[in-house]
Amino acid sequence: MASKISIIGAGNVGGSLAQRLAEKGYADIVLLDIIEGLPQGKALDIIESAPILGFNSRITGTNSYRETANSDVVIITSGTNRKPGMTRDQLLKANVEIVSEVTGNIAKYSPDCIIIMVTNPVDAMTYLALKVSGFVPSRILGLSGVLDCARLCSFIAAELDVPVAEVSAYVLGEHGQNMVVIPRLAQVKGKPITKLLPQETINRLVERTINGGAEIISLLKTGSAFYAPSAAATRMVEAIILDKKEIMPCAAYLQGQYGIKDIVIGVPVKLGRGGIEQIVELELTDEEKKALASSAEAVKKLVATMKLG
């Protein structure tokens, strides 16, 4: 039997993600939204691309959670996105209600699934989903570092005029202004960028990464990024569905790792069919540890405003 993946929210990220996953062909896709016609229309459009591209996935657009029943992976993209000048944290109030309602439905209809949170502020929303669903922490994670690293890698590749495939990076911490970019771990063919670029250039690329989402919003004006976010979510889904055991930075619930407890924050995790199969503890310098701890504090403060009890 094919794997089943449901996507909640058929907006920019959800629609683009449905297309990417359908084209992969390894799972049936359900796309759900509260707006009548939106998921059905996008699903039909994707179905009509199948004869051209030659994929066989089944795609269903729906407004009913019954269609999502027994999904292996559910991705939450429902909620409000940022407008120019807004921070991710300012979305909290609007998205708490949506994410709570959506998570309750997912837990009811797909009690054994793995949830990937995309909705912002993603670290706090992942924490909320964990509390609402009652799932074990290994089955809930959020999209952050895969996207942030991809942004940094693309900037490094452009700066040094090297193939993007030769660049790797690690971005940890909050998916927001308290992101922890670690230049010493950003490398081109194994060589740290600290040996390849002057410090001012590195600082500029780090700043651009932290403000990567805002840069796109200021250009689009009516929406936020979705091509790279949907690509990043696809990579995470694929590692789970295909049991790849791949290590990538994701928002995960920490229970003492990195000296941090009871908060969701970006760290490297091993992803496989069980979801988060391991939280990987990198050796960090004292300064990097401090930056990660203060990033966790910022998320804790935001989570406290949700008054989850």
Residue 304's φ and ψ, nearest 5 degrees, are -60, -30
CA 306 → CA 14, 127, 159, 201, 211, distances in Å?
Answer: 25, 10, 41, 38, 25
In the complex, the smallest distance separating the C-beta of residue 95 from ligand NAD, rounded to whole angstroms, is 6
Q: Which of residues 101, 207, 262, 281 is near ligand NAD by CB under 6 A? A: 101
- Packed helices 12-24 and 38-47: angle between N→C axes, nearest 10 degrees: 30
DSSP 50-103: HHHHT----EEEES-GGGGTT-SEEEE--S----TT--GGGGHHHHHHHHHHHH
User: Which residue in the list 4, 20, 175, 235 is annotated as catalytic?
Assistant: 175
In the complex, the smallest distance separating the C-beta of residue 281 from ligand NAD, rounded to whole angstroms, is 23
Residue 34 touches ligand NAD, criterion: CB under 6 A: yes
The footprint of ligand NAD on residues 168-187 (CB under 6 A) is 175
The footprint of ligand NAD on residues 117-146 (CB under 6 A) is 118-120, 122, 143-144
In the complex, the smallest distance separating the C-beta of residue 101 from ligand NAD, rounded to whole angstroms, is 5
Residue 44's φ and ψ, nearest 5 degrees, are -60, -40
Task: Point out which residues pair with 81 in neighbouring strands.
Answer: none
Residue 266 touches ligand NAD, criterion: CB under 6 A: no
Amino acid at 76: I
In the complex, the smallest distance separating the C-beta of residue 283 from ligand NAD, rounded to whole angstroms, is 26
Task: Between 12 and 209, name the residue whose CB sits nearer to ligand NAD.
Answer: 12
Amino acid at 180: V
> Which single residue brings its beta carbon nearest to ligand NAD?
11
Q: From residue 51 to residue 90, what is the string marking binding to ligand NAD with x (rule CB under 6 A)?
A: --------------------------xxxxxx--------
Q: Which two tokens stand for residue 294?
A: 């203060």
User: Is 175 among the catalytic positions?
Assistant: yes
Q: From residue 223 to residue 242, what is the string marking binding to ligand NAD with x (rule CB under 6 A)?
A: xxxx--x-------------
In the complex, the smallest distance separating the C-beta of residue 223 from ligand NAD, rounded to whole angstroms, is 5
Q: Choose the stretch contacting ligand NAD; rule: CB under 6 A; options: 7-15, 65-73, 176-184, 197-205.
A: 7-15
Task: Between 151 and 188, name the residue whose CB sits nearer to ligand NAD.
Answer: 151
Sites of contact with ligand NAD (CB under 6 A): 8-14, 33-35, 38, 77-82, 91, 95, 98, 101-102, 118-120, 122, 143-144, 147, 175, 223-226, 229
Residues marked active site are found at 175
